[in-house]
Chains A and B, each alone.
Chain A
Amino acid sequence: MPEDAPARRPFAVLRGLGRGESVTGWALVSPAVVLIGVFGLLPVLMSLQLSFQKSDLLTPETPWVGLENYRKLADDPVFVEAIKHTIIYTALFVPGTMLVGLFVAAALNRSVRFISVYRTAAYITMAVSTISQGIIFLWLTDRDYGLVNAALNAVGAPSQPFLASPAQALYVIVAMTVWGWTGFSVIVYLAALQGVPAELHEAAAIDGANAVTRFRTITVPLLGPANLFLVVWLTINALQLFDEVYATTRGGPLRATTVIVYYLWDRAFVQFDAGYAAAMAYALFVVILVITAVQFRLARKHVHTS
């Protein structure tokens, strides 16, 4: 409680304090480093080792095969397809979820009566398991018995196979996951919107700006950090899509929804080729790392954080 916040702003003095802070910095991060190091990094390194071996997870002998798994990857047409599907999926899912989430959060960021009920509803959607989500979507989009096709038929449009069609299935999965992740996006944006001081809106309104302009020029820039967080986190998750595919199409029909992590799980636990799966995971890891780094770099240029 900075009741005693001084009126002076001695920035110059504070700059000098930046240098000797390494000890403090490391002290503060050390619990996290230890925990994540042991339970996060170590397994990641151990799996890297697996990618250089031939392992079926059954026999204890895991001969070293060097880069063989990675070479196989380059020649694997299904892997190439999986990459394509994963990219299309990510490119649609991330912006989709952010936009929908922002829209809904803006709607929920009001002091309307029962607003907490609506917010609770947004939160609790995240608690629904992907299995349940899968079942519902499978039903809603069913070619013969689903509600979506019933609605289409009612306006004279023909029934679509949706998840049963190699051409449409991936896009339906996009829709399904955007729906499932909206709650998360909403919660994050709500927290961020709380940080936008109402006076700024008031002042701007006095100046004559309408709601949309105010949103665009005041709110959106201040959402910078939240946007970065969502873009990065949603991308990381989209590139590792698995649960929803497992709960609905199992990579089909005819591999139309086979994404990278689904394919690697299949290789490891159905085809008993775990070394190969690990190599795939590492190829994916490098891609995610690069994309995330690019996102951070771009953010530094364009997002204004204090």
Chain B
Amino acid sequence: MTKLQLSDVAAAPVPILAHSDAPPAPPARRRRWLPFSAWHLVLIPLTFLLIVPLLWMLVTSLETEGEANRFPPVLLPERPRFENYSEAWAAAPFGHFFLNSALVTLVVLLSNLVVCSLAGYAFARIRFLGRGALFVTLMATLMVPFQVTMIPVFLIVKWFGDNVWAGLGIDHIGALMLPNLATAFGIFFLRQFFQTVPVELEEAARVDGTSRLGVLFKIVLPLSLPALSTLAALTVLTSWNDFLWPLIVITSHDQMTIPLGLSYFQGAHRVKWPLLMAANVMSLLPMLLVFVGAQRYFVQSVASTGLKG
């Protein structure tokens, strides 16, 4: 391997390509200056700090109502009250809510991944007429708060329900999907990350006759797995936790999603904290599973890209 100067870095990632035939560096060398266990000393307190709210949720979910109604809060319940979980589950048709939430999230996720990839790539790499103005216009939709746009969105969705298909209209989960099928956020996010894919790879393929779409699917997307999986994780999070829009649009129990179900525990004068937190913890679990499952895509897999790791 030729010796790389620091100044080469920004200018040409290309040299890496030239050595795709060389054997991969042994992993041990990469870890030479990582004192294996010492990092845990940093990571553990850091993580603890970050997850304090979650710990509080867990603790509260195991308390009795009396204990939860104390201030300062009780940090260790006398006896962990696991019944809170079964009671919370029984308080509302959560099974149905889970299904609705899952369906909505799945559709929104897939739609965003597809639509935002196409658009993100176009904005990142293709010079087309009006690209700049269009990008700005789309970004503008991120700059007006939902509290202001929610009534017009409601009216538009209602129109769809009345004129296109009832399943898309008010009081159906289709209405929860429709306004979120693509977001400027996703486009902006992917545009940024697609720009980090070495353009030489794309150009090489195109010279070979691959179409733009082909380049997108064969080169850019495989190299962007961390970005795609990150967008997926964020989209799942936003969709799963969306509360205000479902609140306004859904009025039938069988179309409700989980956050609406959670609001069952929030009364006018009183919040049933233990049950609310139990339900909250239960609703986090699917997202946790999704994230854990997607973990391996967060790490750029060397083998799948042919790049030297």
Contact = CB atoms under 8 A, between A and B. Distances in A.
Q: Do A and B come from one complex?
A: yes
Interface of A: 1-7, 9-11, 13-14, 17-19, 21-26, 28-29, 31-33, 35-36, 38-44, 46-47, 50, 57, 104, 107-108, 110-114, 116, 118-129, 132-133, 136, 139, 142, 145-146, 179, 182-184, 187-188, 190-192, 194-195, 197-200, 202-207, 209, 211, 217-218, 221-222, 225-226, 228-229, 232-233, 236, 240, 242, 261, 264-265, 268-269, 277-278, 281-282, 284-285, 288-289, 292-293, 304-306
B226 interface: yes
Contacts of A192: 193, 196
Q: Chain B contact residues (Cβ within 8 angstroms of A): what range? A: 35 or more
B203 interface: yes
Contacts of B233: 123, 187
B299 A217 contact: no
B291 A264 contact: no
A24 B33 CA distance: 48
24 contacts: A1-B304, A9-B203, A25-B122, A29-B119, A29-B122, A35-B115, A40-B138, A42-B152, A47-B152, A110-B34, A111-B30, A120-B295, A121-B47, A121-B51, A123-B291, A124-B287, A127-B287, A129-B280, A179-B50, A190-B226, A195-B193, A203-B4, A292-B139, A305-B196
A211 B114 CA distance: 38
Given A36-B138, A292-B143, 20 more contacts: A6-B207, A11-B203, A24-B126, A33-B134, A43-B153, A43-B156, A47-B149, A107-B39, A120-B288, A123-B291, A125-B54, A129-B280, A195-B226, A195-B300, A197-B16, A207-B3, A229-B189, A281-B147, A285-B144, A289-B143
Interface in B122-140: 122-123, 126-129, 131, 134, 136-140
A2 B299 CA distance: 20
Nearest to B219: A2
B264 to A, nearest CB: 14
B140 A222 contact: no
A195 B130 CA distance: 30
A110 B39 CA distance: 9
Contacts of B196: 192, 195, 222, 225, 305-306
Contacts of B306: 1-3
A142 to B, nearest CB: 7
B179 interface: yes
Do most interface residues of chain A lie in helix, strand or loop, or is the interface mixed? helix
B298 interface: yes
A278 B147 CA distance: 9
A38 B305 CA distance: 38
B43 A42 contact: no
A28 B195 contact: no
Contacts of A221: 9-10
Nearest to B4: A203
Specify which of A26, A179, A265, A282 lies most central, judged by the most chain B CB atoms within 10 Å of its CB: A26
A44 B280 contact: no
A118 B43 contact: yes
Contacts, number: 333
B99 interface: no
A205 B6 CA distance: 10
A41 B196 CA distance: 29
B17 A5 contact: yes
Contacts of B36: 112-113
A10 B25 contact: no
B107 interface: no
Contact of B140 (A13, A57, A289): A289
B102 interface: no
Given A36-B183, A229-B188, A233-B185, A217 B9 contact: yes
Given A31-B182, A222-B196, A41 B300 contact: no
Given A21-B126, A232-B188, A191 B230 contact: yes
Interface in B1-56: 1, 3-6, 9-10, 13, 16-18, 20, 25, 27, 29-31, 33-34, 36, 39-40, 42-43, 46-47, 49-54, 56
A199 B308 CA distance: 8
A243 to B, nearest CB: 10
B46 A217 contact: no
A122 B241 contact: no
A240 B143 CA distance: 8
B280 A225 contact: no
Specify which of A2, A42, A203 lies most central, judged by the most chain B CB atoms within 10 Å of its CB: A2
B233 to A, nearest CB: 6
B253 interface: no
B166 interface: no
Contacts of B148: 47, 50, 264, 268, 277-278, 281
B127 to A, nearest CB: 5
Interface in B160-217: 178-185, 187-189, 192-193, 195-201, 203-208, 212-213
A202 B30 contact: yes
B203 A14 contact: yes
Specify which of A22, A47, A107 lies most central, judged by the most chain B CB atoms within 10 Å of its CB: A47
B106 interface: no
Specify which of A4, A125, A142 lies most central, judged by the most chain B CB atoms within 10 Å of its CB: A125
B234 interface: yes
B267 to A, nearest CB: 14
Given A35-B115, A182-B50, A217-B6, A5 B201 contact: yes
